Amino acid sequence: MASSSSSALPFFILVVVYAATGALAATFEVGDNQIWSIPSSPSYYTDWASRQTFAVGDSLVFNFNNGAHDVLEVTRANYDDCTTSNPIATYTTGPATVELTAAGTRYFICGVNGHCGAGQKMTLTVAAASTPSATPPSPTSSGAPTPPTTVASPPTSSTPGPSGSAPGVPGAAPSATVGTAAITATFVLTTIAAALML
């Protein structure tokens, strides 16, 4: 029995490491419940992005009607001028998922004539992946270990809105999908249970 438990240990460690890295990523639906379209306010999407915290490993989902809209990732100059030539990336089928693989500022526009100029564009900043603090927390007076601290959390509003708030309304809940983390946690627990049964 000891040999089958010890042979499952490397697999278990691999699963835990994989789950820990995947659980940190978030998926954001651009504009919350608003589809990627010409907004009522020219700054709608950039305002939405400024209320989010994006990190390397996160994903953006642009929901749009095929043929009516698209998503172009562009340079800052092309973003400022709403120029569609030479995009960094083009997404023509919705919903389009964009992986945030590097830290820095990203620029997105709709390439349909006139849409970018009408405000269908967004800039956002991607932070580097979270890393543990270099300074360990000081021990408690009882000598008991200090619980881990949260490295990063989504921004919160001082006046949270009700569940189901209208998109773009300050205080509305961010649309970061926690389903991936829940599925990953379930997978890890199932794997632990299976490993213990070996």
Hey, what are 88's tokens? 């960094």
28: helix, strand or coil: strand
The residue ranking higher by pLDDT, 66 or 164, is: 66
pTM over the 0.85 mark? no
Tens digit of pLDDT for each residue in 160-187?
A: 333 333 333 333 344 444 444 444 444 5
How far apart are alpha carbons 97 and 84 in whole angstroms? 19
Q: Is the pLDDT of residue 80 over 60?
A: yes
> What residues have CB less than 8 Å from 85, skipping those under 6 apart?
78
SS3 6: helix
Q: Is the model's pLDDT at 99 over the cut of 50?
A: yes
* pLDDT score at 136: 43
Average pLDDT (137-151) is 44
**Domains in the chain with CATH codes:** 27-126 (2.60.40.420)
Token pair in block for residue 106? 């990203």
Mean pLDDT to the nearest integer, 71-90? 97
Per the model's pLDDT, the better-predicted residue between 126 and 21 turns out to be 126
Cβ–Cβ contacts within 10 Å for residue 114, how many?
A: 10
Q: pLDDT at position 34, please?
A: 85
User: Mapping DSSP to helix (H, G, I), strand (E, B) and coil, where does residue 71 land?
Assistant: strand
Please give the Cα distance from 23 to 185 (Å, whole number): 8
Say what the pLDDT of residue 66 is: 94
